[in-house]
């Protein structure tokens, strides 16, 4: 049985906004997720030139825009002039790289809860964590539930904790370290976010025993999603928005 105090957020979360349905980390992706009934989205935030936070997963523009080179070399106005949709499908041509502020404004207007993954460059994790958390706290003031800030970077999470201590945080891990609980406690995190193939019943039990939530990423097979929920996982992030829909658990009697 889900403990809603431990995990007060949506349980099925759209990865990078639109999963495989829309170009990642764009405003149209958030709109598509909302139109499909998703109550929660995950997206990535990093800093552009002059410390302006924007939605982007990679350190470079090559994969998801019609430009190339480091993200940090472009300011927000330059990024807005790029096409962040044509790579995905012609119907999304002209979609822009959005600022974090624009994404927050849209999420609030659509009633979307957000898991904000902080994606710092290697040389500025503290700055990215501080700026993203501070702006999230300001723009989501009084939101209930508040957004969840997550990151693989413990330095970024520590800076986020110091900048906006009231916002909940989650530690993202690729492989679960033996000292995961000590790390989570040191960062004041509310949850542990794990790659799905590293999750075991014993880990779920230990996370819950510590009063924490556990999320699995990136879960794209419905059978695997069901097995993880049966194991007690609190939430999954998915690309397959058509197969693992917001009502997935209702359809499986949970």
> How high is the pLDDT of residue 196?
98
d(CA 150, CA 175): 16
- 57 catalytic? Reply is yes
Nearest-5° Cα angle at 39, 36 to 40: 110
Which listed residue (15, 96, 193, 196) is catalytic? Answer: 15
pLDDT at 122: 84
In whole angstroms, what is the distance from residue 122 CA to residue 128 CA? 10
> What was the pLDDT predicted at 5?
87
Quote the strand ranges of 31-181, DSSP E.
40-47, 53-55, 113-118, 148-151, 169-173
Which pLDDT does position 164 carry in this prediction?
A: 98
Q: Are 233 and 214 in contact (CB under 8 A)?
A: yes
Q: What is the pLDDT of residue 1?
A: 67
Give me the average pLDDT of each 10-residue run along the chain (254 residues): 90 98 98 98 98 97 98 96 97 97 98 98 93 98 96 98 98 98 98 98 98 98 98 98 96 58
Q: What angle in degrees, to the nearest 10, is found between the helix axes of 154-163 and 180-187?
A: 30
Residue 215's nearest CA partner among 169, 156, 246, 160 is 169
In this structure, how many other beta carbons lie within 10 angstroms of the beta carbon of residue 170? 23
CA distance 209 to 250: 26
pLDDT at 252: 60
If you count DSSP H runs as helices and E runs as strands, how many of each does the chain have, helices first? 9, 9
Domain extents in the chain: 12-244
- pTM across the whole model: 0.97
Classified as helix, coil or strand, 155 is helix
Respond yes or no: is residue 15 known to be catalytic. Answer: yes
Instruction: State the architecture of 12-244 in CATH terms.
Output: Alpha-Beta Barrel (3.20)
């Amino acid at each position: 049985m889900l403990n809603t105090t431990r995990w007060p957020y949506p349980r099925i979360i759209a990865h990078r906004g639109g999963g495989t349905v829309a170009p990642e980390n764009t405003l149209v992706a958030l709109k598509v997720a909302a139109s499909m009934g998703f109550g929660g989205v995950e997206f990535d935030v990093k800093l552009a030139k002059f410390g302006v936070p924007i939605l982007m997963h990679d350190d470079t523009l090559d994969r998801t825009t019609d430009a190339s080179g480091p993200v940090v070399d472009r300011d927000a106005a330059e990024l807005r002039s790029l096409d962040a949709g044509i790579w995905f499908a012609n119907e999304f041509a002209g979609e822009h790289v959005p600022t974090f502020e624009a994404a927050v404004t849209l999420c609030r207007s659509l009633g979307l809860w957000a898991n904000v993954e902080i994606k710092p460059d290697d040389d500025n994790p503290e700055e990215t964590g501080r700026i993203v958390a501070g702006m999230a706290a300001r723009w989501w003031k009084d939101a209930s539930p508040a957004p969840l800030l997550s990151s693989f970077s413990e330095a970024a999470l520590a800076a986020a904790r110091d900048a906006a201590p009231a916002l909940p945080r989650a530690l993202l891990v690729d492989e679960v370290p033996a000292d995961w609980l000590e790390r989570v406690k040191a960062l004041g995190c509310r949850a542990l976010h794990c790659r799905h193939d590293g999750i075991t019943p014993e880990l779920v039990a230990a996370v819950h025993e510590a009063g924490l939530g556990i999320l699995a990423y990136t879960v794209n097979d419905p059978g695997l999603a069901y097995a993880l929920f049966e194991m007690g996982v609190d939430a999954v992030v998915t690309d397959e928005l058509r197969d693992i829909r917001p009502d997935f658990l209702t359809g499986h009697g949970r």
